[in-house]
Amino acid sequence: SGGEQSPRLFQFRKDGFLVLEHFFTAEECDSMRNQIQRIIAEMEVPPHCRTEFSTKEEEQLQAQGSSDYFLTSGDKIRFFFEKGVLDERGNFLIPKEKSVSKIGHALHAYDPVFKQITHSSKVQELGRKLGLERPVVVQSMYIFKQPGIGGEVTPHQDATFLHTEPLGRILGFWIALEDATRENGCLWFIPGSHTSGITRRMVRAASGTSTCVEFVGSEPAYDNSQFIPLPISKGGLILIHGEVVHKSELNSSESSRHAFTFHVMEAKDTSWSKENWLQPTPELPFPSLYT
């Protein structure tokens, strides 16, 4: 009902995030986890991860291969690995399902399970409650946060990577597929930090440069004491305003912290930056959230 939603909506606009516990069922979470295991079982390690190098030049080609793999992942399902999990011949040093850092960026488009979750009636209804008129899905990711090696994610704003004009048109949906705790790397936020714009942008670099993207501007030094942790149980959803500052710590625990996340843009009266790393393609224009 519209009535009970408005205090929450007010909270979201004030904080820049909103925690909705038990938004998805345990069964829905398990279906995503099972599906990702199937995808990993069939995974081929990308060639650029398998190269052995000696010279600087080869290293640059490797970086270029790696960056092309990333840059062209917007309309595919691709694999990104934790550091140090492959030997120099590209063989796994640990079981492959423990080596993956994330899988992206088009699960929502090409995998039936993730597509169904992304466009589920609950999500569409939430979009309508938030007043989204023409929401489109721009990307999705499965994030593993592996035990012991799941790296920290430094403080950032999603709009740094997904820039729109005007700002304020990007919304993240972050779904905990397992309990996210302070020990295994839950998200931390600075409440109210979504109201002062962005200070840094990741843009496509000029072609021919060794890196595919570069940063313009810089991330300010945030005061650590301003961050609050948002532990959330399995099935919980965190709504993330595109400009709210958030981070997660290293996972030093023995348990993983799987999450599925996707980003939505309000396409009405909005332009998507041509400089974003992620671009819609003829194969995959950004699909409407509403079906």
Cα–Cα distance, 257 to 166 (Å, whole number)? 33
Better-scored residue on pLDDT, 26 or 56: 26
Backbone φ and ψ of 266, nearest 5°? -75, 110
pLDDT by residue (tens digit) across 68-99?
899 999 999 999 998 888 887 778 899 989 99
Over residues 144-161, the mean pLDDT reads 93
Q: Which contiguous run of DSSP H or E holds residue 11?
A: helix 2-15
Helices (H), 16-142: 26-41, 47-50, 56-71, 107-110, 112-118, 121-129
Query: What angle (nearest 5°) sits at the alpha carbon of residue 23, between those of residues 166 and 32?
Result: 95
pLDDT digits (tens, 9 = 90+) for 175-197: 999 999 999 999 999 999 999 99
Mean pLDDT across the chain = 92
Burial bucket for residue 114 (CB in 10 Å: 0-12, 13-18, 19+): buried
Q: List the one residue out of 27, 34, 24 whose CA is nearest residue 175.
A: 24
Render pLDDT for 228-275 as a digit per residue (tens, 0 to 9).
999 999 999 999 999 999 999 999 999 999 999 999 999 999 999 999
Identify the band that residue 66 occupies on the pLDDT scale cut at 50, 70 and 90. Answer: confident
Smallest CA-to-CA distance from 260 within 71, 73, 50, 77 is with 77
Q: Hey, how many other C-beta atoms are within 10 angstroms of the C-beta on 195?
A: 12
Q: In the block, which residue shows the tokens 């069922």?
A: 25
- Residue 17 and residue 190 in contact, taking contact as beta carbons nearer than 8 Å: no
Dihedral pair phi/psi, residue 288, rounded to 5°: -65, 140
Residue 1 has pLDDT above 50, yes or no: no
Nearest Cα neighbor of 271 from 186, 165, 129, 176 is 165
- pLDDT for residue 27 is more than 60: yes
Q: How far apart are CA 31 and CA 117, in angstroms?
A: 10
Average pLDDT over residues 114-124: 98
Question: Where in the chain does DSSP place strands (E)?
Answer: 17-20, 77-81, 100-105, 135-143, 153-156, 164-165, 170-176, 187-189, 200-204, 213-217, 228-230, 237-241, 246-248, 259-266, 271-272
**Is the overall model pTM greater than 0.85, yes or no?**
yes
Q: How many residues are recorded in the chain?
A: 291
Q: What is the pLDDT of residue 255?
A: 95
Name the more confident of 12 and 88. Answer: 12
pLDDT at residue 127 in the model: 98
Strand order in the sheet with 259-266: 17-20, 237-241, 170-176, 259-266, 135-143, 100-105, 77-81
